[in-house]
Amino acid sequence: MRKISKSTKRRLKFTLFLVTLIVFFLTYRLVKIQIIDGESLKTGALQQWTKSIDIKTDRGIIYDTKGRKLAVNVTAFTLWATPSDIKNPEEVARELSSIIDMGYDEVYLKLTKDVHVEKIKQWITREVADEIREKNFRGISIVDDNKRYYPFGSFASYILGFTDIDNNGLYGIERAYDKYLTGIPGTWVKATDAANRQLPYDGEKVFEPDNGKSVVLTVDETIQYFAEVAATEALINNQAKSVSIIVMDPKTGDILAMANKPDYNPNTPRESLDPETNIQWSQLPLEERQNRWYEMWRNYAINDIYEPGSTFKIVTAAATLEEATSNLNSTYYCNGFIRDIPGVVLRCASWFKPHGQQDFSEAFANSCNVAFVNMAREVGKEKMLEYIKAFGFGELTGVDLPGEQRGIIPTNAQSIREVNLATLSYGHGIAVTPIQMINAISVVANGGNLMTPRFAKSILDENNRIIENFDPELKRQVISEATAKELLGMLEKAVIEGTGRKAYVPGYRVGGKTGTAQKIIDGRYVAGKYISSFGGVAPVDDPKISVLVIVDEPTGIYYGGTVAGPYAQMLIENTLNYMEIPRKYTQEELENISEVVVVPDVTGLRIFEAGGIITDLGLKYTTEYEIFTNQSNVLDQYPAAGSELTKGSIVDLYLDYGESNPNLSTEIEEGN
């Protein structure tokens, strides 16, 4: 046998080593592909073989309490591209850009992206979608979509809010209940070959979306309409900066209406309703323009604070009666001033014509600052702060809209100085939100209970079946039912005899309190800028509604009774009529209703002459505590001469100062 040479052995060894190395490498690759990278490679293969397109959900409907639709969805279409399927992107981009009104460069960039699918444009019209389908572009698909739509435009915009381009809630109810309204998106999956052609019998699957749930609000569309009309008229007639109105069911905390003016259209939330403003905004840098948008979207009734003025006297009166430091038979003497606080002189709004001796309810009807300062002193700063907190000031009400503020109250009793206690008694030196204020008024209307305000009543499924209810929530009892009843009587007297006479409605027992507060800007009271308000309840014998009307920076006359009172009256009368609450006329009201009086022209006359003429005709008049003497002349009147009023109605007279106009130095002046 021939002996194997050494060189042959070396070649065999090398060959064996090489084969072993190759086998080892192939084994390693097989293990890596099959086991280590198996799942990721499988996923990658599936991605190459399949295409998936998201299927948007139908967002839930927003209904008012009677089932009327306030926010709905309308059919729209979304244009998608599969870049790998498009053979001639230049030509496709050219044709598409002219159809969908987009720039060629922008469309071309989308068509050539290194992605599986790319959204070209959302919410194209049916006509545009049909035109694109006729072109039969390869790699271009159109998916049915829906767009959020608010059928009443700016109506209730601060309640509803709006969504972004992907139907995510951004403001209002849309944001607060987004988890219910949104639903779960679906997916359309199909398999393709190497040329990206859809394979027959490929097991194409459509994972249906789980549509959003619907929200039923406590808001009544008709009452909301009344509030919107009243707010618009108050804004225009007073040439005010803004107006906010809230209507609440005091027994449940249900918000029946909330209107802020000026407002915006949630269908086009980045555009002002004023065309000139839009032109100005278009010239601003993006950051500044965004700030204007945020300012426009800000919900005054929930997100902003203000000094309430005399409407806050409800809290002072409640504390006084509940603590029994005074009662309805207690008397207070008003000489027009508080002079015993070192370094400060505070005055009553009627300082030029002091109220003199008055009982508790008269002091309330007169909105006498001097009396309320003395009430707060009797209660003491510790108890006053306790009741301020009990009425819900300084804490969140829990209302189901985003961005609520706590307001500003004293941090503790030790921080309340003598002058602070005095001004707190009539609503200065404290900042509240409108929603806090109407909630506090509702405490008096419902027998002493603080409720949690709410906008949402229930959640419905796709078949309009209730799947979740939001029940009224009692936070705590603030005052006794007896105290609440006494306060209701005083509120009614304030409307019949006091500063709230403009809110009087024949046949309905209306109670209310006016407020006028000088505005604070940058930490200082600003002359000539006021917030005028009226808060009330009706009917007093069985309260169905609480109302709050706030007019920010009215032009000219600024007293709450004159500025806000008439719109509260309009709102109360319309709402109670709509709710079919029967009127109960007194004999005097029946007599007055049957007789119409033509308003005389008394401008230019002295006050005593004008008052005599008006009284002789069976009308009443008020000067809203303007500073005057018997020599004061009537500068203007409301209603104007020639208007028709029922006998017993009130004519506002606006006067000059007459012969006396003392120059008095005070820290704070409170109007009513």
Angle between the N-to-C axes of helices 313-322 and 434-445, in degrees from 0 to 180, rounded to the nearest 10: 40
Report whether 571 contacts 234 (CB < 8 A). Answer: no
Supply the DSSP symbol for 85.
Answer: G
Name the strand (E) or helix (H) holding 605: none
CA dist., res. 284 & res. 292, Å (int): 10
What secondary structure does DSSP assign to 377-401, as a single string? HHH-HHHHHHHHHHTTTTS----SS
CA dist., res. 371 & res. 145, Å (int): 64
CA dist., res. 230 & res. 668, Å (int): 30
Long-range contacts of 492-497 (CB under 8 A, 24+ apart): 492/540, 493/361, 493/362, 493/364, 493/365, 494/364, 494/365, 494/367, 495/536, 497/365
Q: Which two tokens stand for residue 251?
A: 């027994």
Report whether 538 contacts 511 (CB < 8 A). Answer: yes
Task: Order the strands of the 634-638 sheet from edge to edge.
Answer: 620-622, 650-655, 634-638
Q: Which two tokens stand for residue 340?
A: 């015993």
Expressed in percent and rounded to 5, the helix, strand and coil fractions of the chain are 35, 25, 40
| CA dihedral sign of residues 192, 194, 195, 201 | negative
If we measure between CA atoms, which residue out of 337, 367, 369 comes closest to residue 352? Answer: 337
Q: How far apart are the first and last CA of the chain?
A: 131
Beta-bridge partner residues of 80: 119, 141
What are the angstrom distances between the C-alpha of 168 and each of 44, 161, 458, 460, 462? 31, 11, 20, 19, 19
Phi and psi at 547, nearest 5°, equal -130, 150
Spell out the residues 6+ positions from residue 501 whose beta carbon is closer than 8 angstroms to its own. Answer: 495, 561, 565, 620, 622, 650
Supply the DSSP symbol for 33.
Answer: I
Quickly list H helices, 192-298: 221-237, 275-282, 286-297
Report whether 593 contacts 636 (CB < 8 A). Answer: no
If we measure between CA atoms, which residue out of 413, 397, 510 comes closest to residue 451? Answer: 397
| CA dihedral sign of residues 559, 426, 248, 250 | negative
Supply the DSSP symbol for 103.
Answer: -
Point out the residues that are catalytic: 310
Supply the DSSP symbol for 255.
Answer: E
